């Protein structure tokens, strides 16, 4: 039993097929199968079984896969101890975020990490549905993700650090008849043309909640994921939209009004694998993300 074999077993439990594991680890399916056979020889109970054409973990395999997380974490800590011993630089931390999250957090991080000896950042943007965020932790040290209040929680295989619980407001063009109100209800906005995200992305569920509360389906006329583009379309009179209160940039042609009667909030969280935080550089960046979140949240009161 070695680290590579345990990693393959863990990935099989998460990804669900030998082919998917091979693609994630960039090896051949036959190499994955060989590692599983070698691991099975060292264990007296079956670790995998067939479910139709798929190879899945048994209860024993699942237990060992969960234990593998601790093994990888311990090994990562051990490597980090050696790095500290030989006085290695803080190193590079890779960070991915959805678009509006990247626009809000990245400038703050870059300014805060300019000091000598600070970790180097490798920044990326990733526009994916909610279910697509946890797999990104295989490719990046930290992933800034978002989900709605009542959406399924993140899987237990990832570590979650909450950053924001952000209100979602109705974005209206300046001069719109509803812009003079202090708050809006679902019935107020149900007959307006809407701009919303593509299917599968988190904000769409709140638009559905507006339809349910109003008793009629709202008309979505434009599908745009990028918040800055949504703001331009709203300002030009193309419709109304849901817009995050803190992480969207103010637009001179757009006003935001709270939506009452509906739990219109989203969680902005940092996801990472347990072993990632064994690196001091990752912990430093995680701490700076928390500080940036406090600064972003304070804009609402300051």
Residue written as token pair 């990935």? 11
Residue 137 has pLDDT above 50, yes or no: yes
pLDDT at 150: 81
Q: What's the pLDDT at 5?
A: 87
pLDDT at 180 over 50: yes
Mean pLDDT to the nearest integer, 155-173? 94
Cα 41 from Cα 257, distance rounded (Å): 63
Q: Is residue 220 pLDDT above 70, yes or no?
A: yes
How much is the pLDDT for 54? 85
Answer whether residue 86 shows pLDDT above 80.
no
Q: Is the pLDDT of residue 243 over 70?
A: yes
Least confident of 3-12, 140-149, 241-250, 285-294: 3-12
What mean pLDDT is predicted for residues 144-157? Answer: 90
- Percentage of residues in the chain having pLDDT higher than 70: 96
Tell me the average pLDDT across 93-121: 93
How much of the chain, in percent, has pLDDT values that exceed 90? Answer: 51
197-226: average pLDDT: 88
In three-state secondary structure terms, 261 is coil
pLDDT reported for residue 16: 86
pLDDT (tens digit per residue) in 118-131: 889 999 999 899 99
- Domains in the chain (CATH in brackets) are 3-85 (1.10.10.10), 94-302 (3.40.190.290)
Output the average pLDDT for the chain. Answer: 89
Q: Say what the pLDDT of residue 90 is.
A: 64
Contacts from 46-52 at CB under 8 Å and sequence distance 24+? 47/9, 48/12
Higher pLDDT, 143 or 261: 143
pLDDT digit string (tens) for 280-290? 888 899 999 99
Structure tokens at 77: 């800590």
Rounded to an integer, the average pLDDT of 55-83 is: 83
Q: How many helices (H) and strands (E) does the chain have?
A: 10, 11
Tell me phi and psi for residue 54, to 5 degrees: -100, 150
What is the per-residue pLDDT for 107? Answer: 96
3-state secondary structure 82-112: HHHHCCCCCCEEEEEECHHHHHHHHHHHHHH
- Model confidence at 278, pLDDT cuts 50, 70, 90, reads confident
């Amino acid at each position: 039993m070695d680290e590579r074999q345990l990693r393959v077993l863990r990935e099989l439990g998460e990804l669900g097929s030998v082919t998917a594991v091979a693609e994630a680890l960039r090896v051949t399916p036959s190499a994955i199968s060989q590692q599983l056979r070698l691991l099975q020889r060292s264990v007296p109970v079956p670790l995998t079984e067939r479910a139709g054409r798929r190879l899945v973990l048994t209860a024993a395999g699942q237990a060992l896969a969960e234990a593998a997380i601790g093994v990888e974490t311990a090994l990562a800590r051990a490597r980090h101890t050696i790095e500290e011993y030989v006085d290695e630089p803080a190193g590079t931390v890779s960070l991915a975020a959805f678009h509006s999250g990247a626009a809000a957090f990245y400038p703050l991080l870059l300014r805060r990490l300019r000091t000598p000896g600070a970790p180097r950042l490798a920044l990326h943007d990733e526009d994916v549905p909610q279910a697509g965020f946890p797999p990104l932790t295989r490719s990046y040290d930290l992933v800034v993700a978002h989900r709605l209040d009542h959406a399924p929680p993140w899987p237990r295989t990832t570590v979650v650090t909450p950053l924001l619980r952000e209100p979602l407001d109705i974005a209206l063009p300046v001069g719109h008849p509803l812009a003079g109100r202090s708050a809006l209800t679902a019935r107020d906005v149900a007959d307006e043309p809407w701009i919303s995200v593509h299917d599968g992305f988190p904000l769409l569920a709140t638009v559905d909640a507006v339809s349910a509360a109003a008793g009629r389906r709202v008309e979505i006329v434009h599908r745009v994921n990028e918040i800055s583009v949504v703001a331009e379309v709203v300002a030009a009179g193309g419709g109304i939209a849901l817009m995050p209160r803190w992480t969207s940039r103010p637009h001179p042609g757009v006003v935001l009004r709270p939506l009452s009667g509906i739990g219109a909030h989203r969680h902005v969280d940092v996801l990472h694998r347990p072993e990632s935080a064994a690196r001091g550089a990752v912990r430093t960046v995680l701490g700076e993300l928390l500080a940036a979140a406090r600064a972003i949240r304070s804009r609402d009161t300051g």
